[in-house]
Structure 1
């Protein structure tokens, strides 16, 4: 285990991320132009989406139904567990919803780093895992916002996973158009879903055109993005510390709980070792793109320094350095 963790720490993507954190801590004048930062985000979203669509085109629908259902189940269960834990920690409602949406959704960059980790270890995984990234991006956001509407309507909030689908159906009318628009047609989900569909329609015909940019250069551009994420995460660390040790422990321990849950569900739906690992990574990660974009409009009272600070300043580096190898070892043990 120690060898795997050290191997992950000494990979270029992690080292450049740590370089960004160091630059932020020591207040270096290093910074990325806003336009470049936005362009890198768009690139990663398109790259993962189109690669997922191309890979998904190789599979029959019946072979991906179980993994898809497993991914959707995680998107429903994780926000419910998060709300329950935060209630025990006496967190206020709006910030609890913000963290439920953030931790229920996924980190595309953590997923990309996990793919690099698996490739380095020679571990194969199902090509349609990229498609599951798209599927796990929005359900948790919708579930979290639904829970907010339910709680605010003074209905029964003692929600368990087995009841969640019925409650979603019952209260779907509570969602307004703006919530739906931000959750489904926000930049992240639109690019992921759109690129996935394009890749699915074109299949292998798209490879000659997209390979030079979206496949060959992917890992190199991921390094640039992680350097920028390191700068942002380093700036967010003081904000997280202001909210006490309980919140810090939440950002460190919940990924392990959710990642373990993802590994178990990945095994139950019949994924390979690499697929089980990636399911754990997705479940254990936290969103800092799609969820914050939706929360900014739908739950403006939620404090971004809490949900974004934890996701970027604590959970993201934890997963990048320790979480990915832990999920891999857990997947090996279960598989």
Structure 2
């Protein structure tokens, strides 16, 4: 078993997908004068979201109606699992790091969500190794993105009721000033891109903060409160979820009409997926590498959390899926276990940041992204996914 693990681990580390990620990761380190055009990056992210949705919807159209109950049950379990993971992340950060409580709460929200970038990378790895997965997993990507947003909003709301000042300091933390003025949101990326991410709402959210409109119920331009209508719209109907669900619906309706209807579009949304994903990972490698510098002030325990927590959460996800499989008599493909593990172990770097900018300006905008994108994303797409594949095989063999 150890020999098989080592062979597969080495084999997966040098897939073309990851080689492109390494290539991008070295660009800032070697100070190569290269910048990925942001307009092209936006186009790639739109394509990937629609392609995931299209393929998932097409496969959903072939599902037996008898299994729909267990599928929706598994989606509910996925939502609850990520919510619990978000709370667990907060408790771990509270026990082992010296971050401010508002930053712990925000980081916990990141880890209670998921990462579309990690998910599409895992899809590429599974395709290259011919590992099957269940057709509805792209829907799980959308469902399991939401809990982290709710966790962050809930925890920060509690802190505000406990006396947190406008700069995010609690009464027992250095720098506490109940008369402090609120923090002013600002663009964070050195290259004018906002924070690189899959969904296009990043820039939109920043623009809304910098130029608030008067048609949202806040005539004076103040930021929306926790769980306001505008904020809930950002959580449940951001552009990333819209494109993903839109692709699923289109693929589903098209799939019901038969392969004659979908064949021409499959050549674009399915056949080209791997190559476009390679370009996406080239850019993500550059962005992840740049974010590492923000970890200097966080301390080694925070770095350890960002590298160890994904393994704990992924293992939890695999065990939860396996228990659900046995309790309901549902058969899961190996790839389903791996994708569920990735959805549990990954950390958001766009959905929660967009919500953070709108509703939690007191929190540090760089620390959560340094962990989720600089460390956890990098770990998952290089080392994590091969480990989760072997771990899922081990759980299947043992139980």
TM-score by length of structure 1 reads 0.89
**Residue 196 (1) aligns with residue 214 (2):** no
CA positional deviation for 1:191 = 1.5
**Aligned twin of 1:309:** 370
Bigger shift: residues 89-98 or 24-33: 89-98
Tell me how large the CA RMSD over aligned residues is: 1.9
Distance 2:20 2:352 in 1: 25
Structure 1 unmatched ranges of 5 or more: 156-172
Deviation (angstroms), 1:285? 1.0
* Residue in structure 2 matching 1:12, options 5, 12, 16: 16
Q: 1:275 to 1:27 in 2, by over 3 A?
A: same
What is aligned with 2:99?
91
Matched, 1:264 2:310: no
Quote the residue 2:304 is aligned against.
249
C-alpha separation in 1, matches of 2:252 and 2:153 = 30
Q: 1:266 to 1:144 in 2, by over 3 A?
A: same
Q: CA deviation at 1:81?
A: 0.5
- After TM superposition, give the deviation of residue 196 of structure 1 in Å: 2.0
Pair 1:56–1:150, CA change in 2 (3 A)? farther
- Residue in structure 2 matched with residue 326 of structure 1 by the alignment: 387
Q: Which of 197, 200, 207 is the matching residue for 2:262? A: 207
Q: Does 1:78 pair with 2:85? A: yes
Instruction: Report SS of the residue matched to 1:44.
Output: helix
Alpha-carbon distance between aligned partners in 1 of 2:268 and 2:362, rounded to the nearest angstrom:
40
Instruction: Decide which structure has the larger Cα Rg and report it.
Output: 2
Whether the aligned pair in 2 keeps the contact of 1:138 and 1:189 (CA below 8 Å) is: no
Matched ranges for 1:122-133 at <5 A: 122-133=130-141
Distance in structure 1 (CA, Å) of the matches to 2:319 and 2:363? 32
How far did 1:102 drift? 1.3
Contact map agreement 2:347 2:372 (CA 8 A) in 1: yes
Check the 8 A contact 2:115/2:343 in 1, yes or no. yes
CA distance in 1, matches of 2:269, 2:363: 35
TM-score (ref. length: structure 2): 0.75
More helix as a share of residues: 1
Runs of 4+ with deviation above 3 angstroms: none
Q: Which moved more, 1:128-137 or 1:46-55?
A: 46-55
Counterpart check, 1:225 vs 2:225: no
1:179 corresponds to 2:231:
yes
Show CA shifts across 1:81-112 (max 9, x none).
01111111232232122212211111112112
